[in-house]
Amino acid sequence: MGWKAMTKVYVVRHGETDWNRQGRLQGATDVPLNTNGIAQATACRQYFSENKAVAIFTSPLQRAYNTATILNEPFQLPLTPLPQFKERTFGQAEGMTYEERSKVYPRKNYPGQESFPHFIERLKEGLRIIEQRYPDDTVILIAHGAVIHNLFQIVENDDLFPQNARLSNGGISTMYTKNGKWWLGKYNETHHLMH
């Protein structure tokens, strides 16, 4: 049987921010990591000392970029910010808690929010860039909650991922290509965060 080249991506959700802790919608708002988030990013190093990768891609927003930088310190892998993986823009709902949003926008039709088709299209473009640059290698991608949730809708076996599943800050999931399609391996591994 012929072995086919495969791209493997470890998808890491950025470390915690104060807005995460307060349940506020972040979107494009550039909120920094908090102390706990820095600790989570540092804990991810342990995972990647056992699961090797050759490069890191990250959303350019600082909560993802700084997670990537902290995680990368012992490895010094090439690090590339890709705007395709920025969090979805939620317009006027950014900064609101779930309670506040559900009162003002019960249908989630937030003014100024990025359209869903546009969001999905740029995520697919981001995956194409990674696959073109690393057709038979393993890379790390640091991204955001809504980005990761929707990457899992793009994969062939999306039923593997329960719709309402929580994605932990610092949690790591695995996607890979097979026969020209993306598949989900494991999702939201957190054992490295327990120490």
Note down pLDDT in tens along the chain; length 195 residues: 445 679 999 999 999 999 999 999 999 999 999 999 999 999 999 999 999 999 999 999 999 999 999 999 999 999 999 999 999 999 999 999 999 999 999 999 999 999 999 999 999 999 999 999 999 999 999 999 999 999 999 999 988 888 778 899 999 999 999 988 999 999 999 999 986
138 inside domain: yes
Q: Quick check: is 1 in a domain?
A: no
Q: In CATH, what number is assigned to the domain containing residue 102?
A: 3.40.50.1240
CA distance 109 to 104: 10
Cβ neighbours, 10 Å, residue 62: 15
| Residue 94 is a catalytic residue | no
pLDDT given for residue 85 in this prediction: 98
Count CB neighbours of 180 within 10 A.
Answer: 7
Residue 68 confidence (pLDDT): 98
At 15 the three-state DSSP class reads coil
Q: Can 87 be counted among the known catalytic residues? A: yes
User: pLDDT value at position 107?
Assistant: 95
pTM for the full predicted model: 0.95
Classify residue 3: in a domain, yes or no: no
Report if residue 156 sits inside a domain.
yes
Please tell me which residue in 14, 16, 131, 189 is annotated as part of the active site.
14
Number of neighbouring beta carbons within 10 Å of residue 57:
25
Q: Check if the beta carbon of residue 130 is closer than 8 Å to that of residue 139.
A: yes
Per-residue pLDDT at 3: 58
Question: How many domains does the structure of the chain reveal?
Answer: 1
Task: Indicate whether 177 belongs to any domain.
Answer: yes
Sorted by sequence, the CB contacts under 8 Å of residue 183 that are 6+ apart come out as 155, 156, 157, 175, 176, 177
Pick the catalytic residue: 16, 87, 94, 189?
A: 87
- Look up the domain containing 85 and give its range: 8-193
Q: What does the block give as tokens for 187?
A: 């999702």
Q: How far apart are CA 129 and CA 133, in angstroms?
A: 6
Give 38-105 as a DSSP string.
HHHHHHHHHHHHHS--SEEEE-SSHHHHHHHHHHHTTT---EEE-GGGSPPPBGGGTT-BHHHHHHH-
